[in-house]
Structure 1
Amino acid sequence: MLWKKRYFEYFMRVLGAGMPRMGFKAVPSWSRVGSLSGILLLLSFTVADGVFAAGFEPLEVPAADGEPTIEAMVWTPCANASGSSEIGPYSVQAVRDCAITGQSLPLVVISHGYGGSLLGHHDTATTLADAGFVVATLNHPGDFYGDDSGAHELSIFESRPRDVSRVISFMLESWQKREKLDPGAIGVMGFSRGGTTALILSGAVPSVPASTERFCRHWWSFVDWQCRRLKTGGARIAPNTDSRIGAAVVMDPLNLFDTPGLESVRTPVQLWASENGGDGVELQHVEEARAALPQLTDYQIARGAGHFAYLTPCPPGLEESAPRICEDPEGFDRVSWHGRMNTAVVEFFKRKL
């Protein structure tokens, strides 16, 4: 089959590649095995006791009306015994095609950061699924590990929210198990520019002048792609709000907003920051968002951590090949932090959805 040939060629390139130049990129090259074809090829299963009871299945949202195909993954409450699946370097606490338990289940869509993948937050996805949520993760076309063709254009901040809305519509209207969902209980979670995506979906209005002032004040900003785009005559980022969103978890977002643009958010927000920041995100930027959001429900800072602390903890092999995004400052325990963080995310969505 064509997808097998394409994936084999791509996987061999990944094996021979080092870490890419990161910029705002949030997920390492090893996570490239998160593509739909890669998952279908690489999945192998080992059952273990005492782990999350979550299921998962690959999903493809078809191209329509000029919009591209979206590769996605659905994580669901599992009616069978818990187990783990090895996907590339990750041990994912879920089993494939597990029977779904429960009715009227809330839906949460997770948006990754620049160059990320649908596996970049799999521990949060499985924790939510274990708690009774259906979760959809996706690869944003033009801005994921295997396709960055649109990642350096301002229009990506318009297409990303549309991607999430398309996934929501597919889940509610075309997913084979859509009768399991509660269409009135939909949330979104995003990291880095995925956090920006979550805010836009929740009603935030991007501001080119505010973004230019925030990111492009330094003399060297002329070499930054984002600043070059922001300073182009007629630059704009149109908002794409989705009124179906009932709650948003926003992690270390790229702040493209002014105060009025954030005051337009009418969705309850749980906001997270990293003390040390990184890849264009600074604690001050998140603090500015905190001050402006009218329905901020919860705000927490990962003390002593950098930007990538919000990515799922790295397995040993990935720690060796991608230390930049896997290694945390001394004294910060990412595994422990994710345990507390995931619990807080579940509690927030349970309250709000």
Structure 2
Amino acid sequence: MGGLALRRTIRAFAVALCCLGSFALGSFAKASGIQLLDADPALSGAIWYPCAAEPTHVALGNLAVGADFDLKGVKDCPVTGARLPLVIFSHGRGGWFGANHDTEEALADAGFIVAAINHPGDTTNDSSRRDTLSVWASRPADIVRLLDFMLKDWKDRAVIDPAKVGFFGFSLGGATGFVLMGTRPDFARVAGLCKETTGSCAELHSGATPPEPIQDARIRAAVIVDPAPGTLTRENLALVKVPFQFWRSQFGGPGVGDGSGTARVADGLPGKPDIHVVAAGHFAFLAPCSAELAAAVPRICTDTPAGFDRAGFHREFNAAVVKYFGEQLAGGGP
């Protein structure tokens, strides 16, 4: 995105704030309230929401990546607002619930409830399902479980408007979102391309039956970010009727190849989705890294090309995501 795009995005963000006023209180919250989910291994994550207190930091400790981590916000602050839209996040392969924490915070500051969990078996600390076919059933099921919890069991569920549910997915989380919105993953295509003798490739070549897709009609709009492209085709994407914004990296990275796969997916998207191409690598969509995290995990904190301004890009990115969800969910969905 160039300077013109940035100026347009900033103007659009201002418009989005006006739109968001229809479902937030008269003034915007000062900070993201944060409630941590840690009582159930199947629902380990966090909920962000509008809060009227001054922002501080919520310490999470060491996340098994060699660095301590904290989130910006106010722990257990009372929720501000009513009839608020909800956005559910799905992280990438081997990720965690806060991988896109700055985007989660931006949405909460703008009047959304945001919920994200670790996908059991496919997180930073747990790889037990990571390279198996079962992850194609477990990941969508995780999101359905999280939505059920937020709408039926969360102690502050009364503030959510159940007709205003959005989804944000990065990398394998993006492919998860497409499954939830109607695609039937093309495992025959994957089997024809993959050469590995372990994991899901081995399962497919041995004749294992792929899981049936799990869908959720409660999702009214989505932001799909650099999705894992292997199972996606023009034919199965045509089944998606939910509006979505699509982001892809020009240079790609682990899980998405050199960028040509997501370019192929973008060319096959149905209708006229809002498509953005970013001149960077796959990990540029992750939250900007602290110096400590960059030293501990340079692989996810080093951008392509060298000198790419991840923090500056995320100001544009977060504004565009807030604007899109504001437009799509302000009226209760499509």
Q: Same fold (TM over 0.5)?
A: yes
Q: Which residue in 1 is equivalent to 2:53?
A: 80
SS of residue matched to 2:196? helix
Give matches, 1:271-310, under 5 Å.
Answer: 271-282=246-257, 283-303=259-279, 305-310=280-285
Q: Which residue in 1 is equivalent to 2:184?
A: 205
Q: Which residue in 2 is equivalent to 1:95?
A: 74
Query: 1:61: how far off?
Result: 7.2
CA distance in 1, matches of 2:286, 2:92: 9
CA contact (8 A) 1:199 1:248 kept: no
Query: 1:127: how far off?
Result: 0.3
Cα distance per residue 1:230-273 (max 9 Å; x no partner): 32314424211100000111111112122221110011111111
CA contact (8 A) 1:266 1:295 kept: no
Q: Which residue in 1 is equivalent to 2:288?
A: 313
Cα distance per residue 1:159-201 (max 9 Å; x no partner): 1011001100111001110100000000111111011111111
Give the one of 26, 34, 40 matched to 1:56: 34
Bigger mean CA offset, 249-258 vs 234-243: 234-243
Q: 1:290 corresponds to which letter in structure 2?
A: A
Q: Which residue in 1 is equivalent to 2:5?
A: none
Structure 2: tracts of 5 or more residues without a match: 1-28, 62-67, 330-334
SS of residue matched to 1:166? helix
Bigger mean CA offset, 141-150 vs 282-291: 282-291
CA contact (8 A) 1:290 1:296 kept: no
Query: 1:81: how far off?
Result: 2.2
Q: Which residue in 2 is equivalent to 1:124?
A: 103
1:227 aligns with 2:201: yes
Q: Which has the higher contact order (CA 8 A, sep 6+)?
A: 2
- Are the structure 2 counterparts of residues 85 and 69 from structure 1 closer, same or farther at C-alpha, using a change threshold of 3 Å? closer
Q: Which residue in 2 is equivalent to 1:247?
A: 221
CA distance in 1, matches of 2:136, 2:164: 24
Number of residue pairs matched by the alignment: 292
Cα distance per residue 1:5-51 (max 9 Å; x no partner): xxxxxxxxxxxxxxxxxxxxxxxxxxxxxxxxxxxxxxxxxxxxxx9
> CA RMSD, aligned part only?
1.8
CA distance in 2, matches of 1:236, 1:69: 22
- Are the structure 2 counterparts of residues 232 and 269 from structure 1 closer, same or farther at C-alpha, using a change threshold of 3 Å? farther
CA distance in 2, matches of 1:332, 1:223: 36
Q: 2:328 corresponds to which letter in structure 1?
A: K
- Are the structure 2 counterparts of residues 234 and 226 from structure 1 closer, same or farther at C-alpha, using a change threshold of 3 Å? closer
Structure 1: tracts of 5 or more residues without a match: 1-50, 63-67
Give the one of 175, 179, 187 matched to 1:196: 175
Moved over 6 A (4+): none
1:169 aligns with 2:144: no
CA distance in 2, matches of 1:139, 1:200: 18
TM-score relative to the length of structure 2: 0.83
Q: 2:212 corresponds to which letter in structure 1?
A: A
CA contact (8 A) 1:248 1:267 kept: yes
Query: 1:153: how far off?
Result: 0.9
TM-score relative to the length of structure 1: 0.78
CA distance in 2, matches of 1:144, 1:296: 33
CA contact (8 A) 2:178 2:240 kept: yes
CA contact (8 A) 2:50 2:111 kept: yes
SS of residue matched to 1:140? coil
